[in-house]
Amino acid sequence: MEQFNCRRTRIGDGIWFNSVVDGRYKTNRISVSLILPLERETASVNALIPGVLRKGTKSCPDFTEFSKKLAMFYGMRVGYGVTAVGDCQVMTLSADVIDDSYALNAEPLLKEAGRILAEVVLEPVMEEGAFRETDIELEKQSLIDLIESEINEKRYYALNRAMSVLCAGEPAGVNKYGYIEDVKKISPRSAAEAYAGLLETARIEVMFVGCGDPNQAKQILEQAFSEIKRNPRRFDVFTVKKEAVLKEETDRMNVAQSKLVLGFRTAVRPDDEAIDAVRLMLALYGGTPSSKLFLNVREKMSLCYYCAARPNVSKGLAFVDCGVEHQNIEKAKAEILRQLDCIRNGEFTEEELQHAKLSMVNSFRSVGDSAGAVEGWYLSQVLYGTQNSPEAEAEKIAGISRDAVIQAAVNMKLDTVYLLTAEDDAEKGGKA
């Protein structure tokens, strides 16, 4: 089994530098992730901040000029994103650049990437202690558009709503992008105050993935962060509840096809060895084209347009979602639960189990295909408190027993039934 190959060093109070060096890459990627608990009061403004920071830096405040500057470094890219891991909101800024060895004139591109990223995170464009109003208004509209796009994508919306119902009262029940009504209230001053709070209190994880020397980036970022005031919050990245209390909720919209989501609690933590059996069981249940749900509920019985199972490892949860015509909702729900009972009763072949294992092994082995995927993998490992490489996970999956899969299914407890359906119950629905 391959050893964990992400090196981790503390470079400040609540600040860590993580590096994965792989000679297969021709580029280097550096990212800074600011991590805080998901809270309704701060989720919207925190989600806004990475986009505002990406607009430029104190030394290059014009966005057009900033973009030209990046282009001069062989198309260096500065990106940003917001994700949720367990009970936390993760705001990330990143820089990607080709390795120094491929520069025409031996330019120190990795050092430049580290320096520029440090400026983006720590030296934003400010006017009298506040962000520029034009930047704030542009990013507010962009964030509102993003939240509305989630509502318009009904499958994604249904999964998010099921998560909010299942995790009501927990941080994980808060939308990682926040809420439109809260975004509209953000001002240049309030955003600047939230940004200062982020820098002072967030857990900060710096990730390096590439073929170059990570120490070049580490030295720059360690020095940059040493100059800021820090008072990091202490918090749990995830909490896993064991009890499941059945909740049912229905939303009605103008939709042609109903969306049914079943949310389960597995009661297994991401740092528990049993998590691998849960993942494999869910692949067998509804995670591949040869799974129980796909072959039976969708193909043989034609009850759904799609039907899939997926884990939420960081919260010990699992979701089954399907697109279904109104008249088939109860039939689909009953058959989805029956297929879970089949796994609980050991009603699956060795061939089905091997197909699920091969699918998962292939997905783990494909993590290394991109620096972004490697970064995401090891950031999750760091946050979960685990030390597994994708290759090690693949080996573990291959060795999981049939009994372990059955036990994982037995431990699945239905917690939430969420339905998004037409405003008129009599509407039959159709493909959408």
Half-sphere exposure of 367 (CA within 13 A, CB side): 21
Model pLDDT, residue 429: 42
Q: With the CA atoms of 141, 144, 150 and 152 taken in that order, what torsion angle do they form, in degrees rounded to the nearest 10?
A: -80
Quick one: pLDDT band at residue 430, thresholds 50, 70, 90?
very low
- The sign one gets for the Cα dihedral 421, 427, 431, 432 is negative
Model pLDDT, residue 291: 96
Model pLDDT, residue 425: 55
What mean pLDDT value characterizes the chain? Answer: 94
Q: Give the pair of three-digit tokens for residue 24.
A: 């297969």
Mean pLDDT over residues 291-304, rounded? Answer: 95
Q: How far is CA 286 from the centre of its chain?
A: 20
Contacts of 208 (CB under 8 A, 6+ apart): 17, 18, 19, 20, 21, 28, 29, 30, 214, 217, 218
Specify the length of the chain in residues: 432
Reply yes or no on whether the pLDDT at 321 is more than 80.
yes
Model pLDDT, residue 3: 46
Q: Cβ distance 127 to 120 under 8 Å?
A: no
Q: Quick one: DSSP state of residue 4?
A: P
Which residues of the chain form CATH 3.30.830.10? 7-225, 247-422
pLDDT tens-digit map of 352-385: 999 999 999 999 999 999 999 999 999 999 999 9
Q: Give the pair of three-digit tokens for residue 243.
A: 């009890």
Reply yes or no on whether the pLDDT at 426 is more than 50.
no
**CATH superfamily of this structure's domain 247-422:** Metalloenzyme, LuxS/M16 peptidase-like (3.30.830.10)
pLDDT tens-digit map of 133-191: 999 999 999 999 999 998 899 999 999 999 999 999 999 999 999 999 999 999 999 99
Model pLDDT, residue 1: 37
**CATH of 7-225 given 3.30.830.10, 3.40.1160.10, 3.30.360.30, 3.90.950.10:** 3.30.830.10
Helix (H) or strand (E) holding 330: helix 329-344
User: Which is it for strands 413-422 and 258-265: parallel, antiparallel or unpaired?
Assistant: antiparallel
Contacts of 336 (CB under 8 A, 6+ apart): 262, 293, 297, 307, 320, 322
DSSP letters for 373-431:
HHHHHHHHHHHHT----HHHHHHHHHT--HHHHHHHHHH-EEEEEEEEEESSTT-----
Helix (H) or strand (E) holding 360: helix 350-365
Q: Cβ distance 97 to 28 under 8 Å?
A: yes
What counts of helices (H) and strands (E) characterise the chain?
15, 13
pLDDT tens-digit map of 107-118: 999 999 999 999
- 321-334: burial string, b at 16+ Cβ within 10 Å, e else: bbbbbbebbeebbe
Mean pLDDT over residues 91-117, rounded? Answer: 96
pLDDT tens-digit map of 264-276: 999 899 999 999 9
Percent of the chain with pLDDT over 90: 92
Nearest to 97 by CA among 123, 78, 124: 78
Helix (H, G, I), strand (E, B) or coil at 364: helix
Mean pLDDT over residues 14-41, rounded? Answer: 96
Q: List the Cα angle 286/417/339 in 5-degree steps.
A: 35
Mean pLDDT over residues 334-345, rounded? Answer: 98
More confident residue, 383 or 4: 383
Q: Give the pair of three-digit tokens for residue 19.
A: 């590096």
